[in-house]
Amino acid sequence: MNSQGRISPGTAAEERSCPWLNIWVFLIFVLPIKAALVTICLVVVPFSHSSDQPSALQQQFSKWECDSAVPQGTERGWTCCPKGWRRFQRSCYFLSLDRMNCAESVQNCTGMGSQLVVITSKAEQEFLSMQISQPVGRDNFYIGLFEVKVGQWQWVDKTPYNGTPTFWRQGEPSDNLDENCTVMHVPEGNLSNWNNVKPYTMHYRICEAAAVIV
């Protein structure tokens, strides 16, 4: 009778070890799945929750870098640029590693869902002047400013030229009729670094697009 009411020592040890075994099974199999879900939330969910129509920029790039700086006047919490682009305020900037002529630079930026940069403030000019001074060996960068008629300059997005600050080098723009594109001249070393150039010359470029807010 007593033997029927007892549990053998071996059986009792096995029952006591089961909870620990279950914990290890949980740690081994469940936590990796949880980590994967967290990664998906950080990378995918911000865009899937955006009710806006995907921008041309979003359609061109699959890898993004986001930060949690919340722009004033919005309830969204992430400001995103394509991986490798540089953000300033609500814009993303791409500094090319290769050179093209003026028309090719326009087309290249457009093909990425952006445009040659339009500079509308001293703060933006300061930011870009700092950025272009960092890569070694790159001298001139095309920007989105063109002479459409003699003495009549216009930004690529139709922003009024007279409504924006200008940062021409001393003696620029020159009067040469065939110098109707504009570059930022790196060796100048100060904010007044714009120079008008011939459209067929090969230079680097700065593309700009609105940052994606999610």
Query: What pLDDT score was predicted for residue 189?
Result: 83
Q: Provide mean pLDDT across the span 178-187.
A: 95
Q: Provide mean pLDDT across the span 17-46.
A: 42
Which residue matches tokens 């703060």? 123
0.85 exceeded by pTM: no
Tell me the one-letter amino acid at 199: P
Query: What pLDDT score was predicted for residue 86?
Result: 95
Q: Provide mean pLDDT across the span 96-106.
A: 97
The dihedral through the CA atoms of 107, 112, 114, 116 has a sign that is negative
